[in-house]
Chains A and B, each alone.
Chain A
Amino acid sequence: MKHIVSLSHTSSRHNFETVVEFRGEKVQISHFGTDFEPKVMETLIKRYDGHCDAIALAGIHPPVVIGRKVFHHPDTGRYTSMVQNTPVVNGFNFRTTYLTWAIRNHAKQNPTFFSHKRVAFVSGLVLQPIVDALSEYTDRFFFADPLVHLNLPFALEGKEALTKYALTMKAVLLRVSLRPRGQKLNLAKASPTLKRFLESDFVVTTSTLLERIDLGLVRGKTVLVDTLTPELERALKEAGAREVLHFMPQVASLKTEHRLTYPIFEALLQVTAAEQQPLTTDDILDFIEGEKLRPEIHRLSAGPIAGHRKFAFVIHPLSARDLFRHPILRPLSKTLSQRRVEKGVEKMLTVLPGVSYGRITGIRSESTGSTAEGHIYTLFDTPREMLAQSPERIYSKILKIADHAAAQGCDLMGLGAFTKIVGDAGLTIAQRSPIPVTTGNSLSASATLWAARVAMEKMAFLPKYKFGERITGSAMVIGAAGSIGAVSARLLARVATRLILVGPKPDRLMDLKESILKENQCEITIATNPNKLAAKCDLIVIATSAIEGEVLDLKCVAPGAVICDVSRPLAFKAEQVVTRPDVLVIESGEVELPGEVDLNCDIGLEDNVVYACLAETALLALDGRCENFTLSRNIQYQKVREIYDIARRHGARLAEIRGPLGLITDQEIELCREHAEKKRKG
């Protein structure tokens, strides 16, 4: 019977003797821990060198690759060269190959699992293959290497800092032993860098490293470990870890309860190989594929664990008058907001960079108890100025804000109002930003239709909507080629029998019509001018971002119609709306966030109510979905549904329906309905 001797640097508490059947062959495995005693390791090597079929060296420092150089810990070489008469393996190749593969595999099945997450490595140098594998999904890395290896109380941020640290400290690091200290490293007295390290979403560690560090670190986190023993799982659970993802290969055919390490797998492959040649990466990949090895994830906490996240949100004044809402400019409002100087001021202020405007706090999920806090930034560009400037100029302003927000610990940035319209609607910004970006358009669309539905039901001119049936009525979408417009059109096509798409470019509308007709049986008309067809419509959604000129002539609208004005700036001014008391104009898109929301700056709304795009950013932060959720002009139907589900899950509500005159109460709707009935008769 072949005999593998596994010698580990670590504790002798997990020694074992076993016989496994591997590839049809019985193999004895003796595993010895040496309690970090070099002399014990030497004793064991002397004892078994030449008396077994393979020696697997485990728990020794893996090589560190920096640029083109590979650094080996002196112990690794020393022990390896002590073995002279037996093939010796160290599992490094297996480990790197498997970890890279396992992470990629896990990310493939859970696409949002790693993306843009903050990852804290207890030691980045020891866990280098994971750093490299995760680099594809996030670059927000924190490393506690200085603390763990040298007891220096700070953490490193980013991969480059780690490389720099390794290069500077290599002489010292190559002499540091991984022997556990009596006392666990205390993270309570954390420096600012360590604090950010502790605020991460993931903790990546080995079980040996965890023995050296205060377990409080894992509270509420997802822990990635190489091996998971029942004791470790219990300890992590007690420490309040959210879940643990462990990579130890589980080979079903190897019936053993002992933990087989990477070196043991390598040794098994080595002793059962047909030829006595060193293993290649291909052999390892064959094995991984053949055995269908997968990382395993264990949920540790029963309920969801409340987290706290920060997000950033960028707004800008919607008109020259709004410029003076900013506390710095407010004292000047009397002198500068004169008609004559307004335009000049508007132009002049575009030279200013974005600045911090205020905070929104107290957002709390009703289901998980998670909290979120928003940093609100403002630009000084009005819509007119924003569209007049080159997109690059606006990008750079927004990216500066993103850098600042990232440094403040924000995980996500929302683009408000016209900042998401400029250029390619967030794509470029997301590409260059250090944190994920969302335009908030998914929730805007979602909330629009949510509000429209509520308003229509209250007006009660049409029969109530029943799931799966169509309502006999006409709906019009103005600006249907735009991002919210298109999704509104898609959703309305499911409930209305007739749909009118209006936009300045009929060719774009043709494409939209075709794709809608693929999924729906609905009569679709295309128009460039809404006024002719408006009289037949029960619902009109205005989703254009045209700034100049009249979008729709209110006179043409049928009595009792609901107009849903999603455009910013608004299509109708208050004085226009009062001329048609028989038409309900709502400016939907406002959402009430859950919790006791406190907004310490004026964004033109009241109480808990915020713009849907801000709400989307806040809800994503509450849900921990810090990713590029909505980008570009083509918002997706799935995303619109998904954000609606997230909103409902965390307890966000549709704010009272709003019109240009402010709140629309039920009495006002009733009054509007009476006016409309009169006009319809007469």
Chain B
Amino acid sequence: MKTVFLTGASGFLGKYLVRGLQAKGHKVVALIRPESRTKVEHDETYGGVTWIEGELETLTETLTEAARKKLEPVTDILHSAAIYDLALPESSLYGANVIGTHEMIRLARALPNLEAFHHISTLAVAGNLPCKSPHAQLDEEQFDIGQVLPDGYSATKFAAEGVLRHSAAPYAKKIYRLGILVGDSQTGYMPKTDGLYYILRFLLEREGLVRNVVGRLKILPFPFAENAQTYLIAVDVAAAAILAAFDGPVEKSVPVRTYHIVGEGQPVKSIIASMMNFLGLELKLVPMPESKLNDLVERVGVPKEALAYLYRSPKISNQRFAHEFPDVAMPKFEDYADTLYRYARENWAKSASKGDRP
């Protein structure tokens, strides 16, 4: 049994992590912002959690004596707190994502029983891979390969992963780079809109119109690149994979172990086609090149950052993870896509009609 200090427990992924950790018999100590306390108090998922109130960014200076006592038995840190928003500038993300990680590393120095620091990173750190080579890809062993980090989110997550990697420490470090999280593969549960959900949402909000107008078309020009692909992963699948690696062996000789928490890459074209299918449309999709026209999508509530993913074709392999944990199932996106779409239609169509977003 491990005692785990978890950050980001009240978040989307955090909830699944708490559930998984406790199911495996680990003791969870979690950081919570005082104002978020009410959010978790009545949720039975968080039943056995020991809470520490505090702000991540000022953690080392604001911890009370009582909190330090609670942290003393901690053997593992699972740092999952971060702000995920592609549209925010770097300055809004830097505090939570970068300063937060620095603070966790400083805190880790004071934990006498710490054995491993687990850090939730993202495949966004692959950025725009240098495209000179057609085989450009980011392996689990690689980190800084000169990639361009196009937005504040990838830049801050890159800096956060970097500082952990490069800090000399007596404990083991494990880094989990996640693909783009989508809803629960069983229930479709998704508390917020991001990434491809913006497009889905856009289509769902105008379902009637889309059917009537687009349904008459044989071909549909759509903003994406023919060879673009993306790595989506259901939140429950991701949490299960992380926890499998979390409990995996700790090799002291390897200072940093990185796992890519992804399945196979999905062609963007097939994802859009599956959305269209869900709406009952059979169309030939014609890629529209990336242009200034795409900026117009912001007028209809789709941030242009969400469209950027429709043009990228990163190559990501999860060789190491698949090799070490062959038993962890990675269901394919198309197997549960309809579950996600159905959840979105049921839960968002209503709120959308009221004009506010979940």
Q: Which residues of B contact A (CB under 8 A)?
A: 57-58, 61, 89-91, 94-95, 98-99, 102, 105-106, 109, 144, 146, 155-156, 158-159, 162-163, 166-168
Contacts and interface: CB of A to CB of B under 8 A. Distances in A.
A28 B168 contact: no
Interface string A15-43: 11111000000001010111101011011
B159 A12 contact: yes
B61 A18 contact: no
B54 to A, nearest CB: 14
Scoring A12, A19, A34, A42 by chain B CB atoms within 10 A of each residue's CB, the highest score goes to A12
Interface of A: 12-19, 28, 30, 32-35, 37, 39-40, 42-44, 47, 51, 231, 256-258
Given A15-B166, A37-B94, A40-B94, 19 more contacts: A12-B155, A12-B156, A14-B162, A14-B166, A15-B102, A17-B102, A17-B167, A28-B106, A32-B102, A33-B159, A34-B94, A39-B91, A43-B94, A47-B95, A231-B144, A231-B146, A256-B168, A257-B168, A258-B166
Contacts of B168: 18, 256-257
Q: Chain A at the B interface: mostly helix, strand, loop or mixed?
A: mixed
A39 B106 contact: no
A16 B155 contact: no
Given A13-B159, A15-B162, A16-B163, A40 B90 contact: yes
Contacts of B159: 12-13, 15, 33
A19 B109 contact: yes
A503 B168 CA distance: 76
B318 to A, nearest CB: 24
16 contacts: A12-B156, A13-B144, A14-B162, A17-B163, A17-B167, A18-B168, A32-B98, A32-B99, A35-B90, A37-B89, A40-B91, A42-B91, A43-B91, A43-B94, A47-B57, A256-B168
A495 B156 CA distance: 76
A104 B107 CA distance: 44
Contacts of A43: 91, 94-95, 99
A13 B91 contact: no
Contacts of A34: 94
Contacts of B105: 17
A584 B98 CA distance: 86
Contacts of A17: 102, 105-106, 163, 167
Scoring B89, B94, B106 by chain A CB atoms within 10 A of each residue's CB, the highest score goes to B94
A44 B99 contact: yes
Nearest to B108: A17
B98 A12 contact: yes
A15 B95 contact: no
Contacts of A47: 57-58, 95, 99
Nearest to B90: A37
Given A17-B167, A47-B57, A47-B95, A30 B90 contact: no
Given A16-B167, A43-B91, A47-B95, A30 B144 contact: no
A402 to B, nearest CB: 46
Contacts of B91: 37, 39-40, 42-43
Contacts of A257: 166, 168
B166 A30 contact: no
Nearest to A235: B146
Nearest to A14: B162
Nearest to B168: A18
Contacts of B102: 15, 17, 30, 32
Nearest to A255: B168
Contacts of A33: 159
Closest 7 CB pairs of A and B: A39-B91, A12-B159, A15-B163, A17-B105, A17-B167, A40-B94, A40-B91
A257 B169 CA distance: 13
A97 B84 CA distance: 45
A371 B166 CA distance: 46
Contacts of B57: 47
Contacts of A42: 91
Given A28-B106, A39-B91, A16 B166 contact: yes
A35 B146 CA distance: 15
Nearest to A48: B99
Contacts of B163: 15-17
B266 to A, nearest CB: 30
Contacts of B98: 12, 15, 32
